[in-house]
Amino acid sequence: MSSERLDKIISSQLNISRKEARAGIRGGAALVNGAAVKIADYRLDPERDSVVYNGSEVIYKKYIYIVMNKPKGVISASEDNSRKTVIDLLPDRLKRRGLFPVGRLDRDTTGLLIITDDGDFAHRVLSPAKQIYKTYIAELDGPVTGETLDFFSREITLRDGTVCRMAYLKRLGERRAEIRICEGKYHQIKRMFGEAGLGVTELERRAVGGYELPGFLARGECIEIKKNELEPIFRNQQKSINA
């Protein structure tokens, strides 16, 4: 790996500003391979060299991947001046600079949300060319009928002229359905059901591609996982959708 500046490493891994990191380094808070280093732009290989800051070892991770079971009432954003965000819910041990949610869930939508600081990974997930399907469970204010299923079996044009690709709808109960879409237009699922004469009372995302929300995660909880554990996202879902 190419070398990195000491202040950048400390700042990125410990969720502090570069200014704070530089001040700490100049004050003697940093050790590299056991020796004190007071030069903020000192360069090292973070995957080979050891760094201790304020007495604690800095465990270097180039990127971090977090899976959250998003609760209601928080927005899918990195920061907001007045409303609580999903980043605010993270425990201190997982917070670091540059984190953002991969995609968006509406404020009152719950379920699977991935948070990372890996822009290339996020682009792969969100790229329209990948056609990665997201699976949701919707609770509705009316019955799911044969006409409803037929309505969702083709492209849907919303009232403002927005065209949505065909979704895959499965009836789970009289007023409960599973829906899979590969787009992420504004309030898309609620608007699509609205065109079918139904209101969505609850909406939960259960899966992105082939990666499913872990069943042990309660609302508002999150876990850090390895990147390779998210690879099921990119498996071709078309076969299982049409089955």
Catalytic residue of the set 106, 117, 118, 150: 106
pLDDT class for 241, splitting at 50, 70, 90?
A: very low
C-alpha–C-alpha distance, residues 158 and 16, integer Å? 45
pLDDT digits 0-9 by tens, 114-166: 999 999 999 999 988 888 999 999 999 999 999 999 999 999 999 999 999 88
CATH for 133-208 is 3.30.70.1560
Q: Does domain 4-57 have CATH number 3.50.50.60?
A: no
The mean of the pLDDT values for the chain is: 93
Phi/psi at 18 (nearest 5 deg)?
Answer: -60, -35
Pick from 25-34, 65-74, 218-227, 229-238: least confident: 229-238
- Give the angle subtended at the CA of 169 by the CAs of 164 and 172, to the nearest 5°: 150
Alpha-carbon span 139 to 150, nearest angstrom: 18
What is the fold, at CATH topology level, of the domain defined by 65-128+210-242? Answer: Alpha-Beta Plaits (3.30.70)
Is 106 catalytic? The answer is: yes
Q: Where do the structural domains in the chain lie, given as residue ranges?
A: 4-57, 65-128+210-242, 133-208
Domains 65-128+210-242 and 133-208 belong to one CATH topology: yes
| DSSP percent split of the chain into helix, strand, coil, nearest 5 | 25, 30, 45
